[in-house]
Amino acid sequence: IINMNITLTLKRYLPIGLVFLLGAAVLAFSGACSDSVGQDSSLEDRGYASTKRLVSTDWVAKNLNTENVVVIDVSKQEQYDEGHIPGALSYPTSELQVVNDAGVKGMIPPGGTIAAKLSSLGVSPGDTIIIYDHIKSLWGSRLLWTLLVYGHDDVRLMDGAYGLWVKEGRSVSTDTPSTASSSY
C-alpha cells in the first residue's frame, strides 16, 4: 500500500516538478538580455549573483516613455484598478495558471494562450518587457519565468515591486492605457 501511494504521488506531482525544473534551467542558462534599452548598472552593489533580469525603480521611471519598453502589472484586477505605474498594462494573476487535462492545477498556460494575451496588450516579440506585481514579485516572477519558457528574451523584473515604487513617492495612475493589438 505504501509503495502504491508513493507511485500515485509521484505520478501526480512529477509533471509539476519537471515544469519547475525546466523553469529553473531556463533561468539559469538563458542568454543575456538583448540590451535593446541597456542594462541597469545601479543594482550591481546589491549582492545579487546576477542582475541581468532586474531593473530598479529609477530605471523604470527613466524608461517609461522609451519606445519598445512595455511595463506589465501582474496583480489582481482590483489592485491594478486601485493604482499602478503610469502606462502599465494589466496581466491579471488569474490568467497565469491553468488546470491541465490530467487535472493538475497551477500549470503555465499554453504558449498560444500567452501569445494571444500579449497580442491583446499590444506587445511585440522585440519589446523589452518590464514586470512588477503588488506582492513581493511572486506573480511577476511567474510571468517572467513563463515568458522565458516561451522564448521572450528581453524580459525583466522590477526590483522592489510596486510597494517600493509607492514608498518612493513615484507617480501612480488609475488610467487604463489604450493599446492597439499586435501579432505576437
What's the pTM value of the predicted model, to 2 decimals?
A: 0.76
Cα first-last separation, the chain: 49
Local confidence pLDDT in tens for the 184 residues of the chain: 544 444 444 455 545 444 444 444 334 333 333 345 666 767 777 777 878 899 999 999 999 999 999 999 999 999 999 999 999 999 998 899 888 888 888 899 999 999 999 999 999 999 999 999 988 888 999 999 999 999 999 999 999 999 999 999 999 999 999 999 999 9
The confidence score (pLDDT) of residue 105 equals 86
Q: Any bridge partners for residue 69, and if so which? A: 128
* Angle at which helices 138-149 and 2-29 cross, to 10°: 80
The confidence score (pLDDT) of residue 12 equals 55
Are 161 and 135 a contacting pair, CB within 8 Å? Answer: yes
Please provide the DSSP assignment of the chain as one string.
-HHHHHHHHHHHHHHHHHHHHHHHHHHHHPPPP--SS---GGGGGG--S--TTEE-HHHHHHHTTSTTEEEEEES-HHHHHH-BSTTPEE--GGGS-B--TT--SSBPPPHHHHHHHHHHTT--TTSEEEEEESSTTHHHHHHHHHHHHTT--SEEEETTHHHHHHHTT---B-PPPP------
The confidence score (pLDDT) of residue 35 equals 42
Residues 6+ apart with CB under 8 A from 77: 90, 92, 94
Phi, psi (degrees; rounded to nearest 5) at 10? -60, -45
